[in-house]
A and B are shown apart, each in its own frame.
Chain A
Amino acid sequence: MRKTYGKVLPGMKLTDLAGKLIVIEGTDCAGRTTQINLLKPWLEELGHAVLDTGMTRSPLAGEGIRRAKEGNNLGRVTQSLFYATDFIDRLENEIAPALRAGFVVLTDRYIYSLIGRAIVRGVDPVWIRSLYSVALKPDAVFYLRVKLEDLIPRVIFSRGFDYWESGMDLYPAHDMYEGFCNYQRALLGEFDRLSSEFNFETIDASPEPKAVFAALQTRIQAVLNPEKSYLTRKVEETTERLTRSIDARGVFAAASAARDAEPSLQPVARLLNGNGNGHH
């Protein structure tokens, strides 16, 4: 059964959310979108149905947030709540239904970015955690970590400095570069703290996208095909040995093979023994 961080939304049934929820987290320009664009076709090729989603993409609040951010007059509590509205709309209407249908849900950022950004902006950390206590716990959180020094050239040569990603609403900085460094440094620090609280799997996102993709592939494969449990492996091994013994030496040998196996298989051994005696 899927879990939440404490509270359950009305109408959210946790028992039938069978798909996999995979989160890609990271600061601005960490390469999240690039990776999701590589992961989606790869997963589909493997035969998985994939939903990708991300911040401000909700039909309800996405447009409203974009408009509100244009004006540079969005307060920090209001901002946190507007993003929460967007998140919950997608959680209820996209993510949960996709999980119910057995999809792999790839989400570009999740509650962690929202919590981190809010805390950096001075919002009460207890309040923001309580707000997101209704979020579903994902199957894995991959945190693409990039050092500030590596982040700066990426920003400069992609789309330049952005007002909000430079924390210009926060710091009395002389320019966007200074603002960006202050804000991203604070955000990276907050992510490191969240990392242990929420069990992030950190991936060094400084290397080439291909290398990061390979690292993600390995780890996602492990999430989708978790290693067989000890007991399952034992049962399979013993079954194989039993089958082989029966072929070679008859039922009696099979029974002794079973006796050597797991204690949990003793009833099987006894049963086979009984049958063996009957034959003699």
Chain B
Amino acid sequence: MGEMDISSGLRVGPFEVLYPFRTEQSSTRASREGNYPGRLFIVEGIDGSGKSTQLSLLHKWLEAKGYGVVFSEWNSSPLVKDTTKLGKKKKMLTPATFSLIHCTDFADRTEKSILPLLKAGAVVLCDRYVYTAFARDVARGMDRKWVRDLYDFAVKPTVAFYFRVPLETAIGRITAARDCLKYYEAGLDLGLSDDPIESFRIFQGRILEEYEHMIPEFGLTVIDAELSVEAQQAQVRQIVKRQLEGVQELRIRP
């Protein structure tokens, strides 16, 4: 489900921006000052937090309600993903190039899909957003401010859900679901430990810490990911519903 299909509705509503813009005629400004009719909901959390399951349930619900919904996944730009794949396969990525290539991917999706779709009034759903980069890149040793500045062009989401889960629960879910952990996913490029599971534990621990800092910094909406799938989904839908209330125009079917 890497690429986006376009469907749209109409809606007028304010859009907040991640950062204040700085200059008169910049292309990054346009996306930041945004006052777009669409709505942007994103999910964040460490691997095994269950965020993708929750987003897919939200997607189906919104579609059933008749909204024009578009989904965009982390690391899925057709223009960039081959380069990312090459870098990962050949283990060529350093913390800096890991950060930059993921940002390039995100920029392509922002310029070609997320931004125009929000302007067109669609409900855009993103599995992982800038906060994933802030958490992972800083856990890899990149400068906190440099990474935040890098993603300056991103549109601020309507709601950013953070699925909070204890490290051990996430590790249990991941190791049960997979035969082996991927090199970068486990943070093996950092030389934290030769044992993939141990490296994963240390790396994801650092990422969790970054997420905790970001909850107040960016006003992330925390969902307890240890609750039942149904209970979490009920909370998510309630919050999303509030953001869609009174905007029937978004519906593409009555």
What is the interface of chain A, defined by CB distance below 8 A to chain B? 7, 9-11, 59-61, 63-64, 67-68, 71, 73-78, 80-82, 84-85, 88-89, 92-93, 121-127, 130-131, 133-134
Chain B residue at smallest Cβ distance from A61: B83
Given A59-B92, A85-B97, does the pair A127, B83 have CB atoms closer than 8 Å? no
Determine the distance from Cα of A259 to Cα of B101 in the docked complex, in whole angstroms: 64
Apart from A60-B93, A127-B153, 4 more pairs, CB < 8 Å? A61-B101, A64-B79, A64-B83, A82-B104
Q: Enumerate chain B residues within 8 angstroms of A133, measured Cβ to Cβ.
A: 146
Determine the distance from Cα of A99 to Cα of B131 in the docked complex, in whole angstroms: 35
Closest 6 CB pairs of A and B: A75-B111, A124-B26, A64-B83, A10-B141, A81-B104, A85-B100
Determine the distance from Cα of A82 to Cα of B77 in the docked complex, in whole angstroms: 12
Are B108 and A60 touching (Cβ within 8 A)?
Answer: no
Return the contact of B146 from the options A7, A59, A85, A92 (Cβ within 8 A): A7
Q: Which of B22, B83, B107, B110 has the most CB of A within 10 A?
A: B83
Are A123 and B27 touching (Cβ within 8 A)?
Answer: yes
Chain A residue at smallest Cβ distance from B86: A60
B235 within 8 A of A: no
Determine the distance from Cα of A122 to Cα of B150 in the docked complex, in whole angstroms: 16
Return the contact of B140 from the options A10, A74, A93 (Cβ within 8 A): A10
Cβ of A141 to closest chain B Cβ, rounded Å:
22
B94 within 8 A of A: yes
Are B27 and A122 touching (Cβ within 8 A)?
Answer: yes
What is the interface of chain B, defined by CB distance below 8 A to chain A? 21-23, 25-29, 77, 79-80, 82-83, 86-87, 92-97, 100-101, 103-104, 107-108, 110-112, 140-143, 146, 149-150, 152-153
Chain B residue at smallest Cβ distance from A121: B27
Return the contact of A89 from the options B80, B97, B103, B153 (Cβ within 8 A): B97
Return the contact of A127 from the options B86, B92, B100, B149 (Cβ within 8 A): B149
Return the contact of A85 from the options B101, B110, B143 (Cβ within 8 A): B101
Return the contact of B97 from the options A63, A80, A92 (Cβ within 8 A): A92
Q: Enumerate chain A residues within 8 angstroms of B94, measured Cβ to Cβ.
A: 9-11, 88-89, 92-93
Determine the distance from Cα of A89 to Cα of B150 in the docked complex, in whole angstroms: 17
Cβ of A252 to closest chain B Cβ, rounded Å:
62
Q: Enumerate chain A residues within 8 angstroms of B103, measured Cβ to Cβ.
A: 81
Cβ of A167 to closest chain B Cβ, rounded Å:
14
Q: Enumerate chain B residues within 8 angstroms of A93, measured Cβ to Cβ.
A: 92, 94
Q: Can you offer 26 A-B residue contacts whose CB atoms are under 8 A? A: A7-B146, A10-B96, A11-B141, A60-B83, A60-B87, A61-B101, A64-B79, A64-B82, A77-B107, A78-B77, A78-B79, A78-B111, A81-B103, A81-B104, A81-B107, A82-B104, A85-B97, A88-B100, A89-B94, A92-B94, A93-B94, A130-B146, A130-B150, A131-B149, A133-B146, A134-B96
Q: Enumerate chain B residues within 8 angstroms of A71, measured Cβ to Cβ.
A: 79
Q: Enumerate chain B residues within 8 angstroms of A121, measured Cβ to Cβ.
A: 27
Are B23 and A124 touching (Cβ within 8 A)?
Answer: yes
Chain B residue at smallest Cβ distance from A89: B97
Return the contact of B95 from the options A10, A73, A74, A125 (Cβ within 8 A): A10
Determine the distance from Cα of A56 to Cα of B20 in the docked complex, in whole angstroms: 32
Are A131 and B150 touching (Cβ within 8 A)?
Answer: yes
Determine the distance from Cα of A41 to Cα of B156 in the docked complex, in whole angstroms: 52
Determine the distance from Cα of A67 to Cα of B143 in the docked complex, in whole angstroms: 31
Q: Enumerate chain A residues within 8 angstroms of B82, measured Cβ to Cβ.
A: 64, 67
Are A85 and B83 touching (Cβ within 8 A)?
Answer: yes
Chain B residue at smallest Cβ distance from A92: B94
Are A85 and B104 touching (Cβ within 8 A)?
Answer: yes
Q: Enumerate chain B residues within 8 angstroms of A124, measured Cβ to Cβ.
A: 21-23, 26-29, 152-153
Q: Enumerate chain A residues within 8 angstroms of B111, measured Cβ to Cβ.
A: 75-78
Are B97 and A60 touching (Cβ within 8 A)?
Answer: yes
Determine the distance from Cα of A130 to Cα of B142 in the docked complex, in whole angstroms: 14
Chain A residue at smallest Cβ distance from B146: A7
Are A78 and B26 touching (Cβ within 8 A)?
Answer: no
Q: Enumerate chain B residues within 8 angstroms of A131, measured Cβ to Cβ.
A: 149-150
Determine the distance from Cα of A67 to Cα of B140 in the docked complex, in whole angstroms: 29
Chain A residue at smallest Cβ distance from B98: A85
Q: Which of B22, B79, B97, B101 has the most CB of A within 10 A?
A: B97
Q: Enumerate chain B residues within 8 angstroms of A125, measured Cβ to Cβ.
A: 23, 26
Q: Enumerate chain B residues within 8 angstroms of A75, measured Cβ to Cβ.
A: 107-108, 111-112
Q: Enumerate chain B residues within 8 angstroms of A68, measured Cβ to Cβ.
A: 79-80
